[in-house]
Amino acid sequence: MNLTIDDFRHRIEYSLCQQFASADDLKAFCERARSARVGVACLNPVWVKLGSKLLSDTDMDISCNVGFPFGSHFTEVKVMETKRGIADGATQIDMVINVGALRSNEDNVVLDDIRAVVEAAEGKPVKTIIETWVLTTGEKQRACRIAEEAGAHLVKTTTGVRTQYLEMMNKNPKGAVLEDIVLMRKVLSDKVRIKASGGIYDLDYALELIKGGADQLGVSRGEELIREFGSRYGNQVEV
């Protein structure tokens, strides 16, 4: 695949998900995203309205986090967050699935939860965050199949949020694992895209993930990766 620098830039997603982020933090974040000209800015629900206003003169997508970061909200709460996010200007939804239900083999609960958000999004793309770093191989496969059946447009590896709870399950958690991306690509049909998120810090690994099947990348060092892409490869590279 021939990957241009503009395509690479568009695949990058920035996020401001910290609970302590202030209005000034949001403004600085939006300026960073604008300067880097990345494809998507992901925000917590309370900042979607202002963020969409600050970036209204760009073609950047605004994604609203739903059920973030644990996915343990009631479905009706996720639906409300989705509707409010879209009303406030979100053009995409990032939802965390009900991970506990998945691990309890309550697949219908997971399916109904995702489907309700997809319906509430009224055609806007919905990413399902499956939290690969706490799942077995079989659970990852089931999560992907359920997400596609429910109508999700993308499946995302992790929230990227590290907590003491995560370390109870995984002592060395890494969100964007190449083997997971390859597995997800094998399970999902071509119409469902994949977002790799969590621990993408260098260009070589970012390109490996794209080659393995990742369509979007959640990164925090986008400016550095874009600059390195240009300095090493110019306008394009074969991956």
26-65 b/e with 16+ CB inside 10 Å = b?
beebbebbeebbbbbbbbbbebbbbbbebbeeeebbbbbb
Q: How far apart are CA 50 and CA 17, in angstroms?
A: 14
> What number is the average pLDDT over the span 68-79?
97
What's the pLDDT at 220? 86
What's the pLDDT at 166? 77
Confidence of residue 223 (pLDDT cuts 50, 70, 90): very high
Say which amino acid occupies 29: F
pTM of the model: 0.94
DSSP 3: E
The answer, yes or no, to whether residue 174 has pLDDT greater than 90, is no
pLDDT in tens, 125-161: 999 999 999 999 999 999 999 999 999 999 999 998 8
Q: Which one of 94, 113, 124, 140 is the catalytic residue? A: 94
The chain-wide mean pLDDT, for the chain, equals 95
Q: Which one of 78, 124, 140, 195 is the catalytic residue? A: 195
Rounded to whole angstroms, what are the CA distances from 149 to 95, 109, 192?
A: 15, 13, 10
5-19 b/e with 16+ CB inside 10 Å = b?
beebbbbbbbbbbee
> End-to-end distance of the chain based on CA atoms, in angstroms?
5
pLDDT in tens, 94-120: 999 999 999 999 999 999 999 999 999
For residue 94, indicate whether it is catalytic: yes
Confidence of residue 9 (pLDDT cuts 50, 70, 90): very high
What domains are defined for the chain? 2-238 (3.20.20.70)
> What number is the average pLDDT over the span 76-104?
98
Confidence of residue 175 (pLDDT cuts 50, 70, 90): confident
The answer, yes or no, to whether residue 232 has pLDDT greater than 80, is yes
Q: Provide the angle, in degrees to the nearest 10, between the axes of the packed helices 107-120 and 137-150.
A: 40
Q: Which one of 61, 140, 156, 180 is the catalytic residue? A: 156
pLDDT in tens, 11-33: 999 999 999 999 999 999 999 99
pLDDT in tens, 49-63: 999 999 999 999 999
Q: How far apart are CA 126 and CA 120, in angstroms?
A: 10
What's the pLDDT at 124? 97
The answer, yes or no, to whether residue 221 has pLDDT greater than 90, is no
The β-bridge relationship of strands 2-4 and 236-238 is antiparallel
For residue 57, indicate whether it is catalytic: no
What's the pLDDT at 164? 78
pLDDT in tens, 183-194: 999 999 999 999
For residue 174, indicate whether it is catalytic: no
